[in-house]
Chains A and B, each alone.
Chain A
Amino acid sequence: MSAAEPEAVAGPSERLPVRRPALGGRLLGNEIRLLMRRRRNQLILVALAAIPVIIGVAVKATTNSGSSADGLIGSITNNGIFVSFTALVVVIPIFLPMAVSVVVGETIAGEAGAGTLRYLLAVPVGRTRLLVIKFLAVAFWCLLIATTVAVAGLVIGFALFPAGDVTLLSGTQTTLLGGLGRLLLVVGYAGLMMLALATAGLFISTLTEVPLAAMAASLGVAIAMQVLVAVPQLHALRPWLISNYFLDFGDVLRDPLLFGGLTHGALAAVAYIAIFFSLAWARFTSKDITS
């Protein structure tokens, strides 16, 4: 069948192993450039950056009138770094999964829908390699959106509120540098969580040639998991749902750091990535590419 043809083209590249990393790197660079150049993705980044700004301004406006909030949001008035932490808590359940779904729906289904997948595979590039490149580009995006929220939070936080020693949840303090290190951990953790969701989306994207359907389905999966976690009767399901681990990054703010929940979350994410990437691979390398 026609499906064998693009794969057969991959044959010669095997005999030219020197060209492979260069080609892979170039493709990944292209992929990321394409990702960043898309107006829609730029708008997503701007929207995400606006969330910490709104939080920071809102807290500044209300504390001037004398009321003081409780919990994480109340810590903002003491240290601007908490704008970033609060913003990440706010965006991780819905906004980040949305940003991920939009991009991940595009990956394979987008190329198939636009009719470019055939040509892409006609370049001497194996399907596995193409899938890995798409995966890496999505991983970049996952880290980028979490970083955007954190950096925007830091900028607005330090503009409006004092910096200095960071008071942790345990009531003890760490240096600002220590606080930034912990923020970096949170960003990495949030990125990994999103990558787990994204890999599920990548698999969905290999199932259809309609990018919109892939986007909607990925987002649907993300929201469905949130709903399942929220139902107390389905307690037993929770350890298997990745969204159950989203907010565990609060443990980063304890003294000493509590790794139990974070490790569980990271392992669950790795499991999601392994399962859905292998599913995507099995599907993508065995399906007929017709468009």
Chain B
Amino acid sequence: MLADMHESSTSPTPSGPGGVPTTSRFTQFAVRRRALRWLVPAGAVGVVALLGSGVLSADANTNLTPQTAAQLLASVADTKVTGFSGTVVEKAALGLPELPNLGGSGSSSNLLGMLTGSHTVRVWYGGETKQRLALVDALGEQDVFRNGRDLWQWDSQTRTATHSVLPSDTAKPPPAHTPALTPAEAAAEALALIDPTTAISTDHTDSVAGRSTYTLVLTPKDTRSRVGSVRISLDGKTRVPLRVVVTARGSDHAAIDVSFTQVRFAVPDDDNFTFKPPAGAKAPQETKVPSHPGPGSGNAKAVAAGYTTIGTGWTTVVKVTGVPSLTALAKDSGQAGQLLGALPSVSGSWGSGRLFTSSLMSALITDDGRAYVGAVDPELLYQAAAK
């Protein structure tokens, strides 16, 4: 472009070789030529706008042979991938308020933080015993390295490296309890819900992370579910889910959008999975994870201690007991107390409590320390609470 401009301006005066024009025509010509120059920046703006808004990159022609929903589902079931690596961007717009740092670590990548905003996760997968996850912050990172039975967790903010040794009989559980971080996990969760309550269809092929994808659309039949649809983009070649979009009922916007922005289907190098605590890092005592309790760190276990599910499929309600009672929380002058205080209070035959609703989720916290959460209408939560 620079060369272009240079050329057109080395002879800025219209001194045409074919004779000298009269003064008036000369001036007119010069004025018109100068005005034409503004076409160059206009063109630059146009090109940038086109490229920037992705009009040119959205290539709908993906050259995939059409597949029925059943064919796709079957091929997903026997997906075998030996390894991959990539970057996943998770966007959540659940209608939750921007939560202040309840986790207290100052980073947005704790579990509560994952429920709002946009997050980037880098994933390396080299088989069932070799994984690495990196939650990427502006100037920080939290990593989980798993290599065989060694599990390292790293937090760049506090420069803490935590080592734990997994029991030898756990080959399969994921390294840490993270809510559906990869599209594969998210899709697995969605596919587990498929039963007579779900309508399955396909949509036009698409492109995710530069790869052609099939689109599978799951629609709950039960209208009490707040989930409008779940769209899963499957890689055309490997059938690995590359993108999952959850839309709330009656909404056009994605409530949850988990998508690879870059992916490579090859077993990553081994040095991606090895971790050696750097000099100067804090290293809390080594922990041995006992054999049987489910995956998860101590914190997650404490929360998960008393949780049960009520109902099945899309209308599943999760009941959590042992939540600090509302009266105790109300006395808490901290942010949690203030947040709860702002929620509308509800009551019924089941008791009374506070209700939180968003386009996709409802949550009920009763005064006596129970909590009900589900992607359902509040009425279902009341029914569950009455049981």
Contacts and interface: CB of A to CB of B under 8 A. Distances in A.
A126 B220 CA distance: 68
A172 B141 CA distance: 11
A258 B120 CA distance: 11
Interface string A224-254: 0000000010000001100000010011011
B45 interface: yes
B106 interface: yes
Contacts of B280: 77-78, 167
B84 interface: no
Contacts of A8: 13, 15
B123 to A, nearest CB: 12
B156 A169 contact: yes
B30 interface: yes
B138 to A, nearest CB: 6
Interface stretch (A137-145, A175-183, A280-288): A280-288
A150 B108 CA distance: 29
A181 B6 CA distance: 35
B136 A258 contact: yes
A235 to B, nearest CB: 9
B9 A74 contact: no
A281 B40 contact: yes
A251 B158 CA distance: 18
Contact of B261 (A10, A75, A78, A260): A260
Given A169-B140, A250-B139, A286-B34, A11 B15 contact: yes
A151 interface: no
A42 B123 CA distance: 47
B278 interface: yes
Interface residues of A, number: 49
Interface in B1-53: 1-2, 5-6, 9-13, 15, 27, 30, 34-35, 37-38, 40-41, 43-45, 47-48, 51-52
Interface in B350-384: none
B136 A281 contact: no
Contacts, number: 136
Nearest to B4: A278
A278 B11 CA distance: 17
Nearest to B8: A128
A74 B140 CA distance: 12
A278 B159 contact: no
A33 to B, nearest CB: 24
B87 interface: yes
B161 interface: yes
A178 to B, nearest CB: 14
A172 B278 contact: yes
Contact of A75 (B10, B11, B159): B159
Contacts of A251: 136
Interface in A98-130: 126-129
Interface string A159-199: 00000110101111100000000000000000000000000
B157 interface: yes
A127 B12 contact: yes
Contacts of B38: 282, 286
Contacts of B154: 170-171
A21 interface: no
Given A126-B12, A171-B277, A70 B106 contact: yes
Contacts of A14: 10-11
A278 B275 contact: no
B202 interface: no
Given A7-B13, A71-B156, A258-B122, A279 B281 contact: no
Nearest to B7: A128
Given A70-B157, A132-B2, A173 B40 contact: no
B44 A274 contact: yes
A258 B85 CA distance: 12
B156 A282 contact: no
B387 to A, nearest CB: 40
B10 A260 contact: no
B252 interface: no
A89 interface: yes
A261 to B, nearest CB: 8
Interface of B: 1-2, 5-6, 9-13, 15, 27, 30, 34-35, 37-38, 40-41, 43-45, 47-48, 51-52, 87, 98, 106, 120, 122, 134, 136, 138-141, 143, 152, 154, 156-159, 161, 261-262, 272, 275-281
12 contacts: A10-B13, A70-B106, A72-B139, A78-B280, A126-B12, A171-B161, A250-B139, A251-B136, A274-B48, A275-B45, A275-B48, A281-B40
